Each structure stands twice: as structure tokens, then as C-alpha cells.
Amino acid sequence: MNEQLILLLIGGAGALLGVLFFGGLWYTVRKGLASERPWIWFLSSLLLRTGIVVTGIYFVSDGSWERLLACLVGFVVARFVVTRLAGLPIEHHNSPVKESAHAP
């Protein structure tokens, strides 16, 4: 197969890994902020997302720095796409922290 086509496919695999990582991060933040025990969400999500991405990059790169670079470029592109699609953060009106309405 053509080397450029292989690198393009590997870049797509990196983008998929990036969507899984940053989409999972977005989901974790939304669920973790509403949870009674957010540390469980954040810790388990970090371990799961990182494990999936590191394993995926290891197998996709196959020991080649060109493939590793293509995968990394796809991963970074996915970061910008997911950040753009996620939009602005939502406001939580039922926050447990009470803020004063005026300065002291």
C-alpha cells in the first residue's frame, strides 16, 4: 500500500483516539461536577482514557516515528474539533457553594 495512504489512515486512527480521549474528558467533567463523589469519576476516567490512548498509539505506531507523528497530529486535530464542538461550559445554578452577593 502507498505510504502516504497508510500515514493518512494512521492519522485518522489518532483522531479517533483523540475524540475518545477528549470526548471522554468532556463527559467526565459534566458527570463529575454533578456527582456526590467526583473523585471517583475523575480518577477512573483518567486511568481508562489514558490506558486506551497509550495502548492505541502503541499498536498503531508499530515502532515507526513517522506513524507516531501521524497519530499525534490526528490526536491534536481531534482536540481542536472536540473543543469546538463541546461549546461553552454550562452554568450550575444548584452549586453547593454559596457566594456572597456583594464584596466585603
| Overall pTM > 0.85 | no
In whole numbers, what is the pLDDT of the chain averaged over residues? Answer: 88
pLDDT of residue 90: 59
Question: Are residues 57 and 74 in contact, defined by beta-carbon separation less than 8 angstroms?
Answer: no
pLDDT of residue 50: 97
Domain boundaries, the chain: 3-86
> What is the tens place of the pLDDT at every residue in 12-58?
999 999 999 999 999 999 999 998 999 999 999 999 999 999 999 99
Q: How far is it, in rounded angstroms, from Cα 61 to Cα 51?
A: 15
pLDDT at 95 over 60: no
